[in-house]
Every structure is written in C-alpha cells, then in structure tokens.
A and B are shown apart, each in its own frame.
Chain A
C-alpha cells in the first residue's frame, strides 16, 4: 500500500515534444508529491512538487497534473530539450513521526536533438 507505481520505464522524445511520465499511488495518507530529476553521477534534485489540494502546478516548462480521486499524478515537460535528458522519479510523502518518502521506480528520458 506504500508503493508508488511509475511509468514508463523509459521514454524517447523528439526535441520540442511533450514528455509525459505517470505515477499512481494507493495510500491516501500521502500528502506531498514531488518529482526529482537525476543526471548521471549526480544526486536526485527536486524539480517540482504538489500537494493534493491542488490539481495542477506549473513551473516553467514543467507541469504536475494531480488527480486525487484516481490517485494519480503526472509530470509534463513541454518543449522538451536535450538538456532534459535524465532520470525522473516521482515520490510521495506522508508524516509518520517524521516524513517518509516513497519513490517511484524512475523513468529514463532521452530527448533527441
């Protein structure tokens, strides 16, 4: 019940296209949903995050869409660029004593020039 399911495992997009990565969860105790971006040899870095009282959040070319009833959320990367090529992780967090984070399995995105 604490799993976060992420798809697809890998994604290839043409430059200028839209990249879409989906995540689903089961535990309704989750109350914070961040997305992390990881480049080779680096640690994951927070990209954008949303709380369940909001259905969408946009920061530049990155948008999170959140569907509370379906327990799903997704990351949309508009006008994808080769520099966006990285591994993306969704995560869900809830408080149990301290905050716990459950990560999705990651999506390897490649944007072709």
Chain B
C-alpha cells in the first residue's frame, strides 16, 4: 500500500540516451511534482501538475518532459541524457484543499549517466 511509488529505483545509462521514470500515487491527491536532488542533497522543484495540468515548470531544460495521463500518474521523460543529469529524482504529491498541504514523496530514482 505504498502511497507514492516510483520506478525504476535505479537507472544507469549512457550519455545521449532517452529514459523515462514513472510515478504513481494512491492518495487521491490532486497535485503531483518532480523534484531533483543533487549530490549535495539540494532539493529543487522541477515540475508540478494539478489535475493533469502543468502548473510549475522551473527553468528545466526542454530535454525533460513530464506527462500526466491522469491525476494519479506523473511520468518524466528525459531526452539526450547528459552527465549533469545524474541525480536522485523524487516524485511527490499533495492535496491542495482542506488544509492538508504536506508533500508526500516517493523513495526516489537514482539516475546515473555515464
């Protein structure tokens, strides 16, 4: 009964490849996010979707494209991977009404680009 689940947990790939990370939440939340955590543990928002609509796009290269087929899923596709894309990517969700605002994170996908 994992609340926010991401796959895969680890992703090792070569520069120039295209890869996808999938995320699903079973909390019934309306908003989903992608965060990037670098080697120094900094957490930075990349995207936010509310009911399948893109709300936040924080100066992320066009090589990153989120897709939300429904409000329970938010996938991240990355084209032409670069060394600097190596990081841990976290999916999260939140409910933006009723006073409940906490972010619920998945356990992350560690992307290593070689």
Interface residues of A (CB under 8 A from B): 32, 34, 36, 38, 41-46, 49, 87, 89, 91, 93, 97-101, 103, 105-106, 108
Contact = CB atoms under 8 A, between A and B. Distances in A.
What DSSP secondary structure best describes chain B's contact surface? strand
Interface string B68-93: 00000000000000000000001010
Contacts of B52: none
Residue from B40, B50, B101, B108 having most chain A Cβ neighbours under 10 A? B101
Contacts of A103: 42-44
In order of increasing CB-CB distance, the 10 nearest A-B pairs are A43-B105, A103-B43, A46-B102, A106-B41, A98-B55, A43-B107, A44-B105, A98-B50, A43-B90, A43-B106
Contacts of B96: 98-99
Contacts of A99: 31, 94, 96, 101
A97 B102 CA distance: 16
Nearest to B45: A101
A44 B90 contact: yes
A105 B41 contact: yes
19 contacts: A32-B101, A34-B102, A38-B41, A41-B108, A42-B107, A43-B105, A43-B106, A44-B43, A44-B90, A44-B105, A46-B104, A93-B101, A98-B96, A99-B31, A99-B94, A103-B43, A105-B40, A105-B42, A108-B41
